[in-house]
Structure 1
Amino acid sequence: MKTNDTQLHSRMAVKIAEIDSICARARIMPVITIAREEDILPLADALAEGGLTVLEITLRSPHGLTAIRRLRAERPGLCVGAGTVLDRQMLAAAEEAGAQFIVTPGSTAELLQAGLESAVPMLPGTSSASDIMLGYGLGYRRFKLFPAEVCGGTAALKALGGPFGGVRFCPTGGVNPENLQRYMALPNVMCVGGTWMFDSQWVKNGDWGRIRQASAEALQLLD
């Protein structure tokens, strides 16, 4: 193995270990799109008080990067990542904002390469065996399955476990209290992503107590 290959393998091993640690802490990862800046801190606090301390802040709204910056500065006990990262420029912006991990909805050669070069661990999105192979060839072994239920749900994950024995997933998209336990029972599932514990109307109404309760109840399903 060439020196550069050895260094790459070593860096990827570290990033895989970092993703494993983040997902083990999360178990359930809220996937958050911030509609109003004033919701950033109270929403994060309600989720954390319910036990959800690893947050994926999507870059689907203009408040995404602001949320990451504020949470990193004002809630240092949380683990805050950036989601819906679509290209190299968004990855760089998320890094600059202080994101501790990166999540993408899908995979492109450019984005996978940017993830290799980044110091921040990345969980690339996949919806097929071909996507997994694209990342696998570059050393990735941890992926986000999205949209999980549309892609085949637990049946798809069981099937993918055959050819990709060393690969593990964070399924997101359609995960809910009714199927949560089925997902988490699979050996190739590290954690799940979801939104059911903070209904958009609850956020709009500032019903932080209800969000705190829903977060705690979600985790209780895994005990």
Structure 2
Amino acid sequence: MNQLSDFYRDRVRSVLAASPLIPVITVNHPDQALPLCRALVEGGIRVLEITLRTPHGIRAIEQVRTAIPEAWVGAGTVTSITQYRDVESAGAQFVITPGVTEAILRFGVTSEASLLPGISTISELMMGHDLGYREFKFFPAEVSGGIPALKAFAGPFPDVSFCPTGGIRRDTAKDYLALDNVAAVGGTWLTPGDLVASGDWARISEIAHGSLLDL
């Protein structure tokens, strides 16, 4: 049975180590992607998760990878192997899924775009753990047990670390990051919909910078 190699595991660890905060980016208009991502990077964010929640996600990944080479650029909300292949072709350096299937886990073992699989239960974690995964997205974090759940996971799986996402706010991110098994935190508060719609990139930079200072 193929297992995740140290090379691919190290790449995921490098992504999570690059920024304690990972913005969940939804591109509703193609002209928003570059200024939004530049604003986040100017605010100190070094990892950009561009989701496939809209049809503009794949093109945005291509644009941002070219225009902002100093950032880690990946794809979020990937739910099929077809999407996985598409974001690989677009240049995504990592892939984040909201949940797991055995097919996606096995595909991610040798993919050029390293996988951070989404899990919400111990059983799902065990599926990935058997294939060598040691880093996971915990989603949706708050409704799946939040900090108490992550503390409970640490008992049987002390070698696993997480990027919890879902329901986390600017004022609670620090509490999650205080856990030994949390490497980074994902959130939408870094990209408020009203500010993105109005193109207030300076304010988004301020939110990113201030959120990092809060930690």
Bin for the TM-score computed over the shorter chain: over 0.9
Residue 28 (structure 1) aligned with residue 21 (structure 2): yes
8 A Cα contact 1:69 1:97, kept in partner: yes
1:74 is displaced (CA, Å) by: 1.6
Distance 1:118 1:198 in 2: 29
Using structure 2 for the length normalisation, give the TM-score: 0.97
Given the alignment, which residue of 117, 122, 132 partners 2:125? 132
Given the alignment, which residue of 77, 81, 88 partners 2:70? 77
Distance 1:104 1:208 in 2: 27
Percent identical among aligned pairs is 46
Distance 1:112 1:123 in 2: 9
CA RMSD of aligned residues (A): 1.0
1:218 is displaced (CA, Å) by: 0.5
In structure 1, the residue corresponding to 2:109 is in which secondary structure? helix
Residue 87 (structure 1) aligned with residue 80 (structure 2): yes
Given the alignment, which residue of 146, 157, 164 partners 2:139? 146
Given the alignment, which residue of 144, 153, 163 partners 1:160? 153
In structure 2, the residue corresponding to 1:71 is in which secondary structure? helix
In the alignment, what sits opposite 1:211? Answer: 204
In structure 1, the residue corresponding to 2:142 is in which secondary structure? coil
Distance 2:132 2:190 in 1: 33
Deviating 4+ runs (over 6 angstroms) = none
Deviations, residues 40-65 of structure 1 (Å, cap 9, x unaligned)? 11101110110012100001110000
Given the alignment, which residue of 185, 190, 193 partners 1:200? 193
In structure 2, the residue corresponding to 1:113 is in which secondary structure? helix
In structure 2, the residue corresponding to 1:150 is in which secondary structure? helix
Distance 1:12 1:150 in 2: 32
| Higher RCO (Cα < 8 Å, 6 or more apart) | 2
Deviations, residues 184-206 of structure 1 (Å, cap 9, x unaligned)? 00000000001112210000011
In structure 2, the residue corresponding to 1:57 is in which secondary structure? strand
8 A Cα contact 1:12 1:140, kept in partner: no
Structure 2: gaps spanning 5 or more residues? none
In the alignment, what sits opposite 2:177? Answer: 184
Structure 1: gaps spanning 5 or more residues? none
In the alignment, what sits opposite 2:56? Answer: 63
Amino acid at match of 1:170: C
8 A Cα contact 2:25 2:48, kept in partner: yes
In structure 1, the residue corresponding to 2:144 is in which secondary structure? coil
1:116 is displaced (CA, Å) by: 1.1
Using structure 1 for the length normalisation, give the TM-score: 0.94
Distance 1:141 1:198 in 2: 28
